[in-house]
Amino acid sequence: RHLAKFSEADAVVVGAGFAGMYQLHRLRQMGLKTRVIEVGDGVGGTWYWNRYPGARCDIESMAYSFGFSPELEQDWVWSEKYATQPEILRYAEHVADRFDLRRDITFETRVTRAIYDEEEKRWIVYTDKGEAISAQYVIMATGCLSVPKQPDIPGADDFKGPTYITGRWPHEGVDFTGQRVAVIGTGSSAIQSIPLIAEQAEELTVYQRTPAYSLPAGNRPLTNSEISEMKKHYREYREAQKHHPAGIPNPPRALLSAHDVSEAERRAKYEEAWETGILTALSSAYRDTMTDQQANDWVSDFIREKIHERVKDPKVAEALTPRSFPFGTKRPCLDTDYFETFNRDNVSLVDVRETPIERITANGVKTKDGERQVDSIVFATGFDAMTGAILNVDIRGIGGQALRDKWADGPHTYLGLGIAGFPNLFTITGPSSPSVLSNMLVSIEQHVDWVSDCIKWMRERELAAIEPTEEAEDEWAEHNEATAELTLFPQANSWYIGANVPGKPRTFMAYVGGVDTYRAICDQVAATGYAGFRTYEARQRKQA
């Protein structure tokens, strides 16, 4: 294809979400000419795309924010315990303005290919606007949940009315007043949007395949004293985030096993955790919740009882109760009145395990019980997680090897940061890093800092390229698997494991060893001169 433009940069960053923005800021501080390429017409990534009703973060707003700039964290004022999507987007825009990031971001442009030139030890990055950029480094800041899973239900194209995907919500919003609406899916996105759609729509039918564990968020406005208290101690808090397994230090992880206490004590502890409305409160109530079946059964049963208390019709309550996987092995949801919504007269639940969707028709959704006519369909069916956005770019490394081929049986990386055979290509919160099992902002900052320090180290030594060795990658994969096997995580058919996308290879794609342990490992690798990586000098082939 005709190239409209050829340019040079030190680094190309793909994506202008929180990861891409901070990466740009860091590289610019180091004096690197950096280009960010972004598909959307604004910054914010996840918070740019997910504009469905009720979209909020499931990490407290004062914790889900950048820690790299004490001035930023002092100036910015969050309004609620859990920020809404528009507020987080405003924050992202504020960050872009504050650090003058937009001048290096090319919006409404997609990176289509990235080809490594072994001789030059540089990447050529191609965009859909006909630009080719030669760059020494490519940093994929493409997000873990950024490519919505395409509707995989037969007939999806036959439907005459409008369809919506939660992760690609129209910017102008949607008014469901007077409509019969179908929502397909009951993950976080569905659980957040269903109560609001139910208030607006004439009739709402929810198609559920797997019920979710959801805890009441207890969302509320933040008080001035809470805000000033956090701001007084923000530095210590950021340190605590770094040394917590999920980057969520409150409430702290218990030292006791669930087996150490009486049933009454456990119950009281669960009740207390439930009341906090914090995503990790129940899983950190006892140290063995995610590793011991009985410990997990206790807390899972506690949540199941709560669902039955919240839903009036016992049959509907049971249908909404998760039984097929242990609590926490899929990311739990936080909700505001989700289960109570099924007590409304205009809301009904279809359990598609009992009555599978046969197809979508011109006028509605057909199961074996017949066709239900609807005016709009909302697909809250999730994402091609962790690898989708990376593999959407045709990436070719040493010897022309395609990343898609290398990852045909699942993603292989070293630390979720680098990929053998693909020098100077870094992934922010890449597969087999803790990423989605943590407070993303904490993981993003750690990765961006690590990548930036690595590049700085290379520049000080005038090295042209760095890549992990195959051995390091294999060892990391083994360590990942062994760590996951010590937990209950592999029991769930989750997107952590690729189970939600038909045909996707099944491998556990997140490191379960904790952000704290992981950080220590990454720091150790850096401190030992990037052990597990090999480096290249500019003109010579290989160096030990």
- Which spans of this chain sit near ligand NA7 (rule: CB under 6 A)? 145, 152-153, 166, 184-190, 207, 209-210, 331, 352, 380-382, 495, 500
- State in angstroms the smallest separation of the CB of 46 from ligand NA7: 8
Tokens of 114: 């990235």
Cα(221)–Cα(81) distance, integer angstroms: 6
- State in angstroms the smallest separation of the CB of 170 from ligand NA7: 17
Residue closer to ligand NA7, measured from CB, 180 or 331: 331
Q: What are phi and psi of 124, to 5 degrees?
A: -110, 120
Residue of minimal Cβ distance to ligand NA7: 187
Residue closer to ligand NA7, measured from CB, 193 or 535: 193
Residue closer to ligand NA7, measured from CB, 468 or 514: 514
Cα(261)–Cα(266) distance, integer angstroms: 6
Sign of the alpha-carbon torsion through 161, 166, 171, 176: positive
- State in angstroms the smallest separation of the CB of 473 from ligand NA7: 27
Residue closer to ligand NA7, measured from CB, 127 or 494: 494
- State in angstroms the smallest separation of the CB of 154 from ligand NA7: 10
Residue closer to ligand NA7, measured from CB, 109 or 146: 146
- State in angstroms the smallest separation of the CB of 265 from ligand NA7: 31
Buried b (16+ CB within 10 A) or exposed e, 319-354: bbbbeebbbbbbbbbbbbbbbbbbeeeebebbbbee
- State in angstroms the smallest separation of the CB of 516 from ligand NA7: 20
Q: Of the candidates 352, 358, 346, which has an alpha carbon nearest to the alpha carbon of residue 181?
A: 346
- State in angstroms the smallest separation of the CB of 272 from ligand NA7: 24
- State in angstroms the smallest separation of the CB of 379 from ligand NA7: 8
Strands 122-127 and 425-427: unpaired
Cα(287)–Cα(62) distance, integer angstroms: 25
Residues 6+ apart with CB under 8 A from 243: 249, 516, 519
Tokens of 287: 């140290």
Residue closer to ligand NA7, measured from CB, 109 or 188: 188
SS3 content of the chain, % helix, strand, coil (to 5): 35, 20, 45
Tokens of 523: 């720091």
Buried b (16+ CB within 10 A) or exposed e, 162-173: ebbbbbebeeee
Residue closer to ligand NA7, measured from CB, 188 or 336: 188
- State in angstroms the smallest separation of the CB of 380 from ligand NA7: 5
Residue closer to ligand NA7, measured from CB, 389 or 455: 389
- State in angstroms the smallest separation of the CB of 314 from ligand NA7: 22
DSSP element (H, E) containing 440: helix 440-460
Where would I find the H helices in 76-203? 85-98, 188-200
Cα(481)–Cα(499) distance, integer angstroms: 16
Where would I find the H helices in 40-187? 46-49, 70-75, 85-98
Cα(358)–Cα(356) distance, integer angstroms: 6
Cα end-to-end distance, the chain, whole Å? 39
Distances (CA, A) of 274 to 260, 271, 282, 329: 20, 5, 7, 18
- State in angstroms the smallest separation of the CB of 338 from ligand NA7: 12
Residue closer to ligand NA7, measured from CB, 184 or 201: 184
Residue closer to ligand NA7, measured from CB, 122 or 504: 504
Strands 364-367 and 357-360: antiparallel
Residue closer to ligand NA7, measured from CB, 187 or 411: 187
Residue closer to ligand NA7, measured from CB, 292 or 384: 384
Residues 6+ apart with CB under 8 A from 523: none
